[in-house]
Amino acid sequence: MIVAGAAVAALVATTLLLAPDAPQARVEATVTSVSPADGAVLAAPPATVELLLSAVPDPGLSHITVRDRGGTVVNTGELGRDGDLLRQPVTVNGSGDFSATYHVTLADGEELTGSMRFSVGTGAAPGEVAVVAEDLHSHGVDPLGATLLVIDGAALLAFFAFLWFKPRRRQDPRNS
């Protein structure tokens, strides 16, 4: 009975240690502005496409893909970060319509996806520019991380089962 009590106490202590201190309202992160703006009509090509976010992005897990009407990627260089701003260098040669799609992973793991369009040198609002689905992908579950979580859970269950079902020593009636 003492072993069962210890197992329950350990489980309660673990739960209290891992539980959040207090429930907090979760605020959805958003893209607060894009440059060039969605639907922009530009006379000169931009050097970068920028996203300003309401939270800190992880540039290593994020991407911005800029394509011309034919689907050719016009990105040049690495995606950069300056605080809450992501900056993708682009090389736009000539005029036409362009699409920028983004998949941003924030420091807390939340993901944002979206797209915007702009035109360069046409004098008219951008027409429909195909968005490539792979540019809007999500990262899903990491197989190694998921496997390690399953192994940890099984080890924890085995530990508590061992404590619960451990054979008890019987006292010798002659020593009573």
pLDDT one-digit tens code per residue, 80-100: 999 999 999 999 988 999 999
- Flag whether 158 is in a domain: no
- Flag whether 108 is in a domain: yes
| Domain count for the chain | 1
pTM for this structure?
Answer: 0.62
- Flag whether 62 is in a domain: yes
Is the separation of the CB atoms in 122 and 98 below 8 Å? no
Strand positions, DSSP E, 61-110: 63-68, 80-82, 85-89, 96-105
Q: How large is the angle between the packed helices 143-165 and 2-18, nearest 10 degrees?
A: 150
Which is higher by pLDDT, 12 or 173?
173
Q: Which residues of 113-146 are buried (b: 16+ CB within 10 A; e: fewer)?
A: ebbbbbbbeeeeebeebebeeebeeeeeeeeeee
- Flag whether 162 is in a domain: no
| Secondary structure (3-state) at 2 | helix
**CATH number where 104 lies:** 2.60.40.1220
Is the separation of the CB atoms in 135 and 65 below 8 Å? yes
Per-residue pLDDT at 138 exceeds 60: no
Q: Report the pLDDT averaged over residues 16-23.
A: 55
| Among 69-78, 90-99, 127-136, the least confident range | 127-136
Q: Give 101-130 pLDDT, tens digit per residue.
A: 999 999 888 899 898 999 999 988 888 766
